[in-house]
Amino acid sequence: MIIKELELHNFRNYKSLNLEFSQSINVIYGKNGYGKTNLLEAMFLCCIGKSFKAIKDEELIQYGENSYKVKIRTGDSLCNSISVYYEKNKSKYIEIDGVYIDKLRMLFGNLIGIMFSPESMRIVTDGPLYRRKLLDIALCQIKKDYYFSLMMYNKFCKEKGILLEQRRSGDDLELEVINEKIAEYGSAIAVDRYEFVKQLNEIAGKYYSFIFDKEESVTMRYYPYIHSLNAAIGEKAAAGDMSEFSVEKVKNAFLEELSDERLKKRERDFGKNLIGIQRDDIGMDLGGNSLRSFGSQGQKRSYAIAIKMAELEVLREKSGRTPVLFLDDVLSELDNTRKSKIVELTKNIQTIYTCTDREMMRPSNTGNIPVNFIDVEKLR
Ligand SMILES: Nc1ncnc2c1ncn2[C@@H]1O[C@H](COP(=O)(O)OP(=O)(O)O)[C@@H](O)[C@H]1O
Ligand SMILES: [Mg+2]
């Protein structure tokens, strides 16, 4: 799957733009502030229906305008074009091959993308939010019901919060019904996340050694905020057991925890749902120590890239299609050997790089792979 063409109207700093891409390496280069990241943002928007950086769609509309439009054409017969249109104070309008889709989840999987931006380093350096975001963006794109479960889970957590605010004491049938729903959707999400992290871990370790060029091992493990599941994962890992968890089992264990009287009391005191997948994390370990606390810059960067390469491999395997890879500003952080390694890893994948200087991608890095250079300063 490739992006052949991008069309923008009143998107960020672009009034009107038509841009073509080649099927292998594309390098968008130019000074900072000229709109390189904006281009990747627009293309990734067609993958997940949302910006990877802005929270509100208003921010994407060109200053002083009322709406934006992004359209991409692919080389794929199953989905030839995707367009996203947004007008202030209205809901987003998404079309696939000219047909309006009324649910965001119908967009997922049509164009699968992997984004590595400077922000992605936060997966290894910052709090759990960034690791959950990694899981959600990846899983939404390959599992049809993941996004739906996530929406439903959040909806019931919100309802639970309101109920706890209203009624601070007594037994409550309504609360039990909501907990049942939270357990149902939460367990489905937890099992998907467990499976995904397990696969990422197997592959990322291999990429890490290749990129970092050292025989040291970094591993990752899923830490669900469902205590019994977390303990069970720990036991399985210790026993080298790679079998799967059933959603039903996880659901029952989760529900049992949610029904604990002490927890219920605490939840009434706090007025919110205290356990569950909204507090999940992924632990990363470097030879027995936490990568986040003990890893060097180089080790963290190599692992962050390795995670993304692993994500690409898992998404490709699960979807049967090759994702498009967006690498925003990574070239400046890599030495020549590593650049060549990344090119080697991505040689059969449409990759769109951004960098400040054309010289950051040299023939010595790319060999005989043709490179499509795009000068961002000429696009305005
Ligand atoms: N809504 C908007 N309307 C117009 N210009 C915008 C908007 N949002 C951001 N910009 C402009 O986009 C530029 C930043 O683009 P960006 O893609 O981050 O640059 P680069 O990645 O090349 O450094 C800034 O000059 C900023 O003023
Ligand atoms: Mg940028």
Indicate which residue's Cα is closest to atom 2 of ligand 1.
Answer: 12
Q: pLDDT 10s digit of each residue in the chain, 380 long?
A: 899 999 999 999 999 999 999 999 999 999 999 999 999 999 999 999 999 998 999 999 999 999 999 999 998 888 999 999 999 999 999 999 999 999 999 999 999 999 999 999 999 999 999 999 999 999 999 998 999 999 999 999 999 999 998 876 666 889 999 999 999 999 999 999 999 999 999 999 999 999 888 888 899 999 999 999 999 999 988 898 888 899 999 999 999 999 999 999 999 999 899 999 999 999 999 989 999 999 999 999 999 999 999 999 999 999 999 999 999 999 988 889 999 999 999 989 999 999 999 999 999 999 999 999 999 999 97
Residue 157's CB is within 10 A of a number of other CB atoms, namely: 19
Question: Of all helices (H) and strands (E), which one includes residue 372?
Answer: strand 371-375
- DSSP notation for 309-357: HHHHHHHHHHHSSPPEEEEES-GGGS-HHHHHHHHHHTTTS-EEEEES-
Closest C-alpha among 95, 89, 117 to residue 326? 117
> Which atom of ligand 1 lies at the shortest distance from residue 34's CA?
22
Cα-atom radius of gyration of the chain, to the nearest Å? 22
What's the 35 CA to ligand 1 centre distance in angstroms?
Answer: 5
Tokens linked to 62: 């060109």
d(CA 39, CA 11): 9
What's the 107 CA to ligand 1 centre distance in angstroms?
Answer: 26
Q: What residues have their beta carbon closer than 5 A to ion ligand 2? A: 36-37
Question: Of all helices (H) and strands (E), which one includes residue 28?
Answer: strand 25-29
From 6, 8, 13, mutation site for ligand 1 pocket: most ligand atoms within 8 A of C-beta: 13
Q: Specify whether domain 1-112+322-380 bears CATH 3.20.20.300.
A: no
Tokens linked to 144: 């049809």
Residue 200 bridge partners (DSSP):
none
> Which atom of ligand 1 lies at the shortest distance from residue 32's CA?
23
What are the structural domain ranges in the chain? 1-112+322-380, 124-320
Tokens linked to 246: 């059933």
From 12, 16, 115, mutation site for ligand 1 pocket: most ligand atoms within 8 A of C-beta: 12
d(CA 226, CA 234): 12
Q: Would strands 351-355 and 371-375 be described as parallel, antiparallel, or unpaired? A: unpaired
State the alpha helices, DSSP H only, in 75-127. 122-125
- CATH class of the domain at 124-320: mainly alpha
d(CA 260, CA 254): 10
Return phi, psi of residue 241, to 5°: -90, 120
Residue 220 bridge partners (DSSP):
284
